[in-house]
Amino acid sequence: MFNVQISIKVRKLTALNLLNTLFIGNVVSRFDRLPSTNDYAWHLLEQRRPPEGMVVVADYQTAGKGQRGNRWEAAAGLNLTLSIVLYPDFLAARRAFALSQAMALAVRDVVAWHLPGHQLVQVKWPNDVIVGRKKVAGLLIQNSLSGDYLQASVVGIGLNINQRHFPPHLAKATSLACVAESELDREEVMCDLFKTVACRYGQLKQQGTAAVQRDYLAALYGYQQIVCFRKKDGTTFTGVVAGIDESGQLLVDRPKGRARFGLKEVEWI
Amino acid sequence: MTFKEIQELIKQLNRSKLAEFRLKDGEFELTIRTEHYYKYKAKGASAPSPMPAASPAVMPVPAPVVPASTPAPAAPPATNEDKQATSSVEQPAEEDSSRYVAIRSPMVGTFYRAPAPDKPPFVKVGDRIEVGQVVCIIEAMKLFNEIESEVAGTIVKVCVEDASPVEYDQVLFLVDPA
């Protein structure tokens, strides 16, 4: 779609200290458009050490990142696309998935906060946030590692807020406004997101990975239910979602025993 | 061997990390040395052994330096030749590996040598790396982890194929800290 590298026009680069959060978002860099907030934040990390909790926000990403090779698509000015810089150097590399779990919970929390109480907001393994069966937010986290511990992380969050119409290939996407049936204040949702991220990050830091895992399982779509999966070879099977292991693999109980699956090994159907 | 075949062979060798290639078939003898040969030589490393990639016709190649514990593999059938030459797992000249330092995977995931599919690899065999330099990405559950080296030295071996799964503590690279 965007083959041409668009020169970045920085209209406003402001440091806001107005946001009432613990430490997330005390420094915010805002852009009308950026190729990718994650790339920009990562670039900052390579140049110097920005303060922990610094946020890069773009109204529009021209090359938003999804999973390796995929793109994150979001309409301009309607949604939230931002990246948060963290230094989770207390977290062992092999437990890095806990950071992903904590951040998915933070997004789940803020979505639930802004929707009517009867709406079930869940985390779909590994870290999508869904309402009903539709995706409202996705995460992409980049870490730098040295030895056995994390050094720095850039947590990229894409949260659909006021977009009402999605192209056909994004049929399984939704937004807060679609579900709430009214427009929301993006700034307000963003400030609340900073609070929930600070809370969940604090939980991970102070209570450890077990506490995060407990809450993650409580919010996990399909947990302890019978789910139908399709394997890479096209065969399907059913099993009970039994949990998630330390590295983030899905544990599924089947009649012949427990199996574990990586992200691309199975697909939920 | 036709001129065209030799041209093709040179092309394949350039793409590989082989230092030297020798072929002897009756009276016909061919030796091709790539830039890697001179790289190793310049560093004063022990004489680079020609890789045991050869056609069945290859007979006693001037003694490759191979540790006694790893007997030189029997000359593989010619069909293996291309495979070996284009394999993306880079093989260094075989020599004593005890002084090498391993860079291991800190987690379960998928190993990537480049920041994106269309980008060049972070490091390749023969590259000098510093402490803190990014050597690869391990992707696990949508977490993209850039792995920094804890040692300085020269990459002598890339032990894992690009985009293949790795286990916790699996050796990813061998580094010569000298």
Give the nearest chain A residue to B114 (CA atoms): A68
Q: Which of B108, B146, B150 sits opposite A147 (nearest CB)?
A: B150
Q: Do B108 and A247 touch (CB under 8 A)?
A: yes
Say yes or no to pLDDT of B162 above 60: yes
Tokens of B34: 């790539």
> Do A248 and B139 make contact, defined as CB atoms within 8 angstroms?
no
Q: What is the pLDDT of residues A129-159, one digit of tens each?
A: 999 899 999 999 999 998 889 999 999 999 9
| Contact yes or no for A140 and B116 at CB 8 A | no
Give the closest of B106, B142, B148 to A263, CB-based: B142
Annotation: CATH topology of B99-176: OB fold (Dihydrolipoamide Acetyltransferase, E2P) (2.40.50)
In chain B, where the domains are located: 1-60, 99-176
CATH class of A226-268: mainly beta
Residues of B in contact with A262 (CB under 8 A): 141, 165
C-alpha separations of B141 from A101, A239, B86 in Å = 10, 21, 30
pLDDT tens for A96-118 read 999 999 999 999 999 999 998 88
Tell me if A249 and B108 make a contact (CB, 8 A cut-off): yes
Find the closest chain B residue to A248 by CA distance: B141
Concatenating the DSSP letter of every residue in B8-43 gives: HHHHHHHHS--SEEEEEETTEEEEEE-HHHHHHHHT
Using beta carbons and an 8 Å cutoff, which residues of A are at the interface with B? 67-69, 93-94, 96-97, 99-100, 126-127, 139-148, 151, 247-249, 262-263
Please state whether beta strands A55-61 and A28-34 pair in parallel, antiparallel, or not at all (unpaired).
Answer: parallel
pLDDT of residue B4: 77
Give pLDDT tens digits for A49-103.
999 999 999 998 887 776 555 666 666 789 999 999 999 999 999 999 999 999 9
pLDDT at residue A9 is higher than 50: no
Closest CB to A146: pick one of B109, B150, B165.
B150
Write out chain B residues lying below 8 Å of A126, CB-based: 141-142
Q: How far is the C-alpha of A8 from the C-alpha of A3, rounded, in Å?
A: 15
**B5 or A113, higher pLDDT:** A113
Phi–psi pair at B136, nearest 5 degrees: -170, 175
Chain B residues with at least one Cβ partner in A under 8 Å: 106-109, 112, 116-117, 132, 134, 138-148, 150, 165, 168
CATH value of A2-219 in 3.30.930.10, 3.20.20.70, 3.70.10.10, 3.40.50.300: 3.30.930.10
- The residue extents of the domains of chain A are 2-219, 226-268
Lowest mean pLDDT: which of A223-232, B29-38, B142-151? Answer: B29-38
Which residue is closest to B132 within chain A, CA to CA? A146
Q: Of how many residues is chain A composed?
A: 269
B-chain CB neighbours of A141 within 8 Å are 142-144
Confidence of residue B42 (pLDDT cuts 50, 70, 90): low
Residues B143 and A99: beta-carbon distance below 8 Å: yes
What ipTM, to 2 d.p.? 0.82
| CA-to-CA dists, residue A139 to A64, A101, A142, A195, B43, angstroms | 11, 10, 10, 17, 46
